[in-house]
């Protein structure tokens, strides 16, 4: 049976964060582990805390992609966290932020390649028959949330949805630009181990005081969270984004029950029918009432 | 989008948890077109066509019950035999002049009831299949739906003929086309020889599908169709080529066991 493999709360000063990865139907059928991973960290001085969100999707076809996804998350949270901790000011402009994000991504990429080469050698004693970093293939999407600004680096087919502004009293949702698809088919994407990873990473910078909700996900939720089938341009399925952020805006009295409900959503047949892959959902909402508002999620 | 295919209601997936009951979901599932190119010429009359119809019915039910495939796999059937080339949208034979796509999602699929007669227009059937797959990919792109690499599965017990039933070498024109299309990863092409297919018939399949051809004793349609489901699952997971080879080699292993 499918199960949740990781869940956890983090309450930042300005952002409430909750994430979860669940094993997909196909992996459950085959007794394979969940190859998605997620992570978060908070950094920076108290008055200008920066939150880092990261999701990774290990390639189903590669033997050690679960390790790859977990390594990518570990590296992303530590590298982005350490770099952003040194900031004593908001980015001057988009180019300033873009440069910082690119440097952080390249540091993660270099570390990932070095670590996976080492892991390959450690395990086999020889590289014969092994593909080194390719055996650990994983996508990586990282979002950094500052005060009034955010940035994103995305390699592969993860995606990011923002909630910002209202129209006729209804919150508006926006899909951050995604990197160009790596091929014709939906299961072709770019991994950290891909030769052109450094060139294919997508970087997005947003300056908007109105962003008060963020959803970061691997492609397992793309068909539920994004509206296809209406034309070639993807847009946000607002009912999905609104619902998963609302439950974090207004948590119920029992945090464990809230987490169970989210897990049930991610494991539901309705979502599995759209995509049988592992699923990861990381959501963050801006809090105004300080830590503890509405209780914490487990 | 495909028109709805009439038929009995299918089992709907369970609902969403109460906290998320207001989420609206269409069928945006990433699609996997699967085209069955089936020989229904006169040599298939009797037990073989009965077994084929039975296997299509059972497989149709199985694939509907696989929640990972039922909304993703799209099935079309092209037959060769009878009055020529038949293109089926579920149980309905399409008018040759129609522009409607024959592909229906697996949860809507109802098999046609096939009868055997006529000649073996294999070449034209495969060409029709290639054209239909390309058209479906164009439709999916225009709709904004992502898709996996399509699969075309050819099943025959005979030699390609012309419309007069005379053996023909016209199939040779398929060889470079199939090689180029597969080289460009436009689809996967599987070729199965069944029943009492002759050595010459087997040679045709070997040339059409150098990597993915097999000769099966008898008419193990169900096993063959289940392999198409397994291949679809592997495609969804982005499996490497060796996974597809292993799936296919199973047939060759079975044949050896039977032969021995």
Q: What is the pLDDT of residues A184-212, one digit of tens each?
A: 887 789 999 999 999 999 999 999 989 99
Report the C-alpha gap between A144 and A227 in whole angstroms: 25
pLDDT score recorded for residue A88: 67
Scan residues 124-163 of A and list those with Cβ closer than 8 Å to B.
Answer: none
Top-confidence residue, B238 or A244: A244
pLDDT score recorded for residue A223: 92
**Does the CA dihedral A219-A220-A223-A225 come out positive or negative?**
negative
Residue A231's CB: how many other CB atoms inside 10 A? Answer: 11
Please give the structure tokens belonging to residue B226. Answer: 């289940």
Q: Could you give all domains of chain B from N- to C-terminal order, each with its CATH number? A: 29-259 (3.40.50.410)
pLDDT score recorded for residue B187: 96
Q: What is the pLDDT of residues A227-283, one digit of tens each?
A: 865 667 788 999 999 999 999 999 888 888 889 999 999 999 999 999 999 999 999
Backbone φ and ψ of A268, nearest 5°: -65, 155
**Per-domain boundaries in chain A:** 4-286
pLDDT score recorded for residue A121: 81
pLDDT score recorded for residue B45: 93
| Interface contact flag, B15 A268, Cβ < 8 Å | yes
pLDDT score recorded for residue B72: 93
Report the C-alpha gap between B100 and B123 in whole angstroms: 22
Work out the pLDDT band at B218, boundaries 50, 70, 90: confident
| Interface contact flag, A258 B19, Cβ < 8 Å | yes
B81, containing H or E segment: strand B73-81
Interface mutation target, options A20, A129, A185, A189, chain B, most CBs of B under 10 Å: A185
Mean pLDDT of B90-116: 95
What would the CATH number be for the domain defined by A4-286? 3.60.40.10
pLDDT score recorded for residue B48: 93
Question: Residue B143: its chain A contacts at CB < 8 A?
Answer: 228-232
pLDDT score recorded for residue A147: 84
Helices (H) and strands (E) in chain A, counts: 8, 13
pLDDT score recorded for residue A296: 30
Segment among A254-268, A283-297, B15-29 with least mean pLDDT? A283-297
Report whether A111 contacts A73 (CB < 8 A): no
Please determine, for residue B250, whether its predicted confidence score (pLDDT) is greater than 50: yes
Report whether B52 contacts B152 (CB < 8 A): no
Mean pLDDT of B20-48: 93
Report the C-alpha gap between A211 and A165 in whole angstroms: 7
Interface mutation target, options A242, A254, A257, A276, chain B, most CBs of B under 10 Å: A276
Work out the pLDDT band at A131, boundaries 50, 70, 90: confident
Report the C-alpha gap between B60 and B227 in whole angstroms: 13
| Interface contact flag, A271 B238, Cβ < 8 Å | no
pLDDT score recorded for residue A230: 65
Q: What is the pLDDT of residues A177-186, one digit of tens each?
A: 887 787 888 7
Question: Quick one: which of A27, A173, A152 has its CA closest to A102?
Answer: A152
User: First CA to last CA across chain A, in angstroms?
Assistant: 22
**Does the CA dihedral B61-B66-B69-B72 come out positive or negative?**
positive
Segment among A11-25, A152-166, A273-287, B84-98 with least mean pLDDT? A11-25
pLDDT score recorded for residue A192: 96
Q: What is the pLDDT of residues A64-86, one digit of tens each?
A: 999 999 999 999 999 999 998 88
Please determine, for residue A8, whether its predicted confidence score (pLDDT) is greater than 50: no
Segment among A79-88, A274-283, B201-210, B248-257 with least mean pLDDT? B248-257
Task: Among A25, A61, A239, select the one facing B23 at the smallest CB separation.
Answer: A239
Q: What own/partner pairs with CB < 8 Å and gap ≥ 24 does A260-264 have?
A: A261/B17, A261/B18, A261/B19, A261/B20, A262/A18, A262/A20, A262/B19, A262/B20, A263/A4, A263/A7, A263/A20, A263/A22, A264/B17
pLDDT score recorded for residue B252: 66
pLDDT score recorded for residue A113: 96
Work out the pLDDT band at A62, boundaries 50, 70, 90: confident
Measured between CA atoms, how close is B164 to chain A, in angstroms?
40
Report whether A116 contacts A133 (CB < 8 A): yes
pLDDT score recorded for residue B70: 93
Task: Among B20, B26, B145, select the one facing A243 at the smallest CB separation.
Answer: B20
HEC-encoded secondary structure of chain A: CCCEEEEEEEECCCEEEEEEEECCHHHHHHCCCCCEEEEEEEECCHHHCEEEEEEEEECCCCCCHHHHHHHHHHHHHHHHHHHHHCCCCCCCCHHHHHHHHHHHHHHHHHHHHHHHHHHHHHHHCCCCCCCHHHHHCECEEEEEECCCEEEEEEECCCEEEEEEEEECCEEEEEECCCCCCCCCCCCCCCCCCCCCHHHHCEEEEEECCCEEEEEEECHHHHHHHEECCCCCCCEECHHHHHHHHHHHHCCCCCHHHHHHHHHHHHHCHHHHHHCCCCEEEEEEEECCCCCCCCCCCC
Task: Among B14, B23, B67, select the one facing A25 at the smallest CB separation.
Answer: B67
pLDDT score recorded for residue A123: 53
Measured between CA atoms, how close is B194 to chain A, in angstroms?
30
Mean pLDDT of A166-173: 92
Report whether A241 contacts A161 (CB < 8 A): yes
pLDDT score recorded for residue B240: 82
Q: What is the pLDDT of residues B149-158, one digit of tens each?
A: 999 999 999 9
Report the C-alpha gap between A225 and B62 in whole angstroms: 28
Answer left, alpha or beta for residue A132, where phi above 0 means left and psi between -120 and 50 means alpha: left
Report whether B82 contacts B117 (CB < 8 A): yes
Please determine, for residue A128, whether its predicted confidence score (pLDDT) is greater than 70: no
Please determine, for residue B4, whether its predicted confidence score (pLDDT) is greater than 50: no
Report whether B77 contacts B88 (CB < 8 A): yes
| Interface contact flag, A186 B23, Cβ < 8 Å | no
Please determine, for residue A176, whether its predicted confidence score (pLDDT) is greater than 90: yes
- Mean pLDDT score of chain A: 86
Reported pTM: 0.86
Report whether B123 contacts B168 (CB < 8 A): yes
Mean pLDDT of A94-114: 95
Mean pLDDT of B183-189: 95
Task: Among B147, B149, B238, select the one facing A61 at the smallest CB separation.
Answer: B238
Task: Among B20, B29, B235, select the one facing A273 at the smallest CB separation.
Answer: B29
Question: Residue B145: its chain A contacts at CB < 8 A?
Answer: 228-229
Q: What torsion do the CA atoms of B69, B70, B74, B80 make, to the nearest 10 degrees?
A: 100
């Amino acid at each position: 049976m499918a199960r949740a493999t990781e869940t956890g709360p983090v309450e930042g000063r300005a952002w409430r964060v909750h994430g979860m990865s669940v094993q997909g139907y196909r992996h459950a059928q085959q007794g394979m582990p969940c190859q998605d991973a997620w992570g978060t960290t908070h950094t920076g001085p108290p008055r200008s805390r920066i939150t880092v969100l990261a999701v990774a999707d290990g390639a189903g076809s590669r033997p050690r992609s679960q390790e790859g996804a977990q390594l990518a998350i570990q590296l992303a949270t530590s590298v982005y966290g350490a770099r952003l901790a040194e900031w004593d000011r908001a980015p001057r402009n988009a180019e300033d932020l873009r440069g910082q994000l690119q440097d952080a991504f390249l540091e993660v990429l270099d570390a990932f390649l070095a670590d996976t080469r080492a892991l390959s050698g450690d395990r086999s004693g020889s590289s014969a028959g092994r593909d080194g970093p390719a055996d650990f293939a994983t996508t990586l999407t990282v979002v950094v949330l500052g005060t009034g600004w955010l940035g994103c680096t995305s390699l592969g087919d993860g995606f990011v949805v923002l909630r910002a502004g209202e129209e006729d009293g209804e919150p508006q949702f926006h899909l951050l630009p995604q990197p160009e698809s790596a091929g014709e088919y939906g299961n072709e994407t770019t991994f950290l181990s891909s030769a052109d990873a450094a060139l294919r990473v997508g970087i997005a910078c947003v300056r908007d005081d109105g962003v008060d909700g963020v959803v970061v996900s691997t492609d397992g939720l793309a068909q539920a969270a994004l509206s296809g089938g209406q034309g070639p341009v993807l847009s946000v399925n607002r009912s999905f984004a609104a619902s998963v952020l609302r439950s974090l805006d207004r948590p119920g009295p029992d945090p464990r029950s809230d987490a169970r409900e989210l897990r049930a959503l991610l494991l539901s047949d309705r979502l599995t029918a759209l995509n049988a892959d592992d699923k990861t959902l990381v959501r963050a909402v801006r809090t105004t009432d300080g830590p503890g508002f509405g209780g914490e999620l487990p | 989008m495909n028109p709805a295919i009439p038929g009995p209601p299918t089992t709907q997936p369970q609902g969403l948890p109460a906290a998320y009951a207001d989420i609206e979901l269409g069928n945006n599932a990433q699609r996997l077109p699967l085209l069955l190119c089936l020989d229904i010429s006169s040599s298939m009359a009797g037990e073989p066509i009965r077994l084929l119809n039975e296997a299509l019915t059972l497989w149709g039910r199985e694939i509907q019950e696989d929640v990972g495939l039922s909304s993703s796999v799209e099935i079309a059937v092209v037959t060769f035999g009878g009055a020529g080339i038949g293109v089926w949208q579920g149980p309905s034979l399409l008018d040759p002049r129609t522009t409607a796509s024959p592909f229906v999602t697996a949860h809507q699929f109802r098999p046609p009831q096939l009868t055997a007669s006529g000649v073996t227009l294999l070449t034209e059937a495969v060409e029709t299949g290639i054209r239909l797959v390309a058209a479906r990919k164009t439709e999916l792109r225009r709709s904004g739906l992502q898709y996996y690499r399509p699969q075309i599965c050819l099943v025959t017990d005979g030699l390609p003929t012309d419309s007069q039933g005379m053996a023909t070498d016209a199939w040779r024109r398929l060889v470079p086309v199939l090689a180029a299309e597969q080289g460009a990863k436009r689809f996967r092409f599987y070729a199965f020889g069944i029943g009492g297919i002759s050595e010459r018939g087997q040679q045709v399949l070997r040339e059409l599908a150098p990597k993915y051809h097999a000769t099966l004793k008898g008419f193990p349609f169900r096993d063959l169709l289940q392999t198409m489901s397994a291949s679809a699952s592997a495609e969804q997971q982005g499996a490497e080529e060796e996974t597809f080879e292993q799936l296919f080699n199973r047939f060759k292993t079975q044949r050896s066991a039977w032969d021995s």
